Amino acid sequence: MLVLLRKEINDFLNSLIGYMVIIIFLVVVGLFLWVFPGEYNILKSGYANIDSLFILAPWVFMFLAPAITMRMFSEEQRNGTIELLLTKPLSEWQIVISKYLAGVLLVMFSLLPTLIYYFTVSELGAPQNNVDTGAMWGSYIGLFCLASGFISIGLFASSISNNQIVSFVIALFLCFFAYVGFESLSSLELFGIADHIILKLGVNEHYLSLSRGVIDSRDILYFGSLILLFLLFTKVKLDSRKW
């Protein structure tokens, strides 16, 4: 399993995909936070916080997570190497988890440099270090959970098609619906008391809860269940090749 995990990470680092994902994430977010004028610009907001990062990042990851995962199984299927992979002394779960962890590590690498934003804002504040650290760490945990959930969705999308572009589009749609679809449905108020349940099924509701700085076990359980569900879907799709 560790061998496959190292292979996936090396594949990222030996190609442009891994570096492009990290660079695009940092450049896009950095431009909105520090360069482009507007509501997300930290320097013009007048407040010592990096809330704009946690508003923008989910939308950026909505595109980057599918880009990270679209080739993981699609390329294996297109090249015919999926059969060779399945004959190795690894269970389907080990294969799925190895590829998933490789994507999550890439997400972590892309988030780490943004800690510079926190230290910068902390130094620019008046007085210095006047930053809500609790809310900031809660937001980072929420963003990491959200991105990890998107990775699991993208991995499933990659397993159902041997075309990387199709996998990307499917993953993008599923991530978008998971993030805002349930919230939009609940806002229509068509289902009565069930509207609240529908709202709780959405990713954004739990992400916002963590962003307040309160680590609620229900939110962690939600993201854990979301990740496990799509990893299970991926495993079932791999198992279906034996049917």
Which DSSP letter does residue 214 get? -
CA pair distance 225, 207, nearest whole angstrom: 14
- What residue ranges do the domains of the chain occupy? 2-177+214-242
The overall average pLDDT reported for the chain is 84
pLDDT at 243: 58
Q: Which residues contact 82 (CB under 8 A, 6 or more apart)?
A: 73, 76, 241
Closest listed residue to residue 22, CA positions, set 32, 31, 12: 12
Scored b (16 or more CB within 10 A) or e, 119-132 reads eebbeeeeeeeebe
Q: Are 154 and 68 in contact (CB under 8 A)?
A: yes
Is 192 strand, coil or helix? coil
pTM attached to this predicted model: 0.91
CA atoms within 13 A on the CB side of 21: 26
pLDDT at 48: 66
pLDDT at 90: 74
The answer, yes or no, to whether residue 236 has pLDDT greater than 70, is yes
Q: Which of 35-44, 99-108, 169-178, 195-204 has the lowest mean pLDDT?
A: 35-44
CA pair distance 4, 7, nearest whole angstrom: 5
For the chain, state the CA radius of gyration.
19
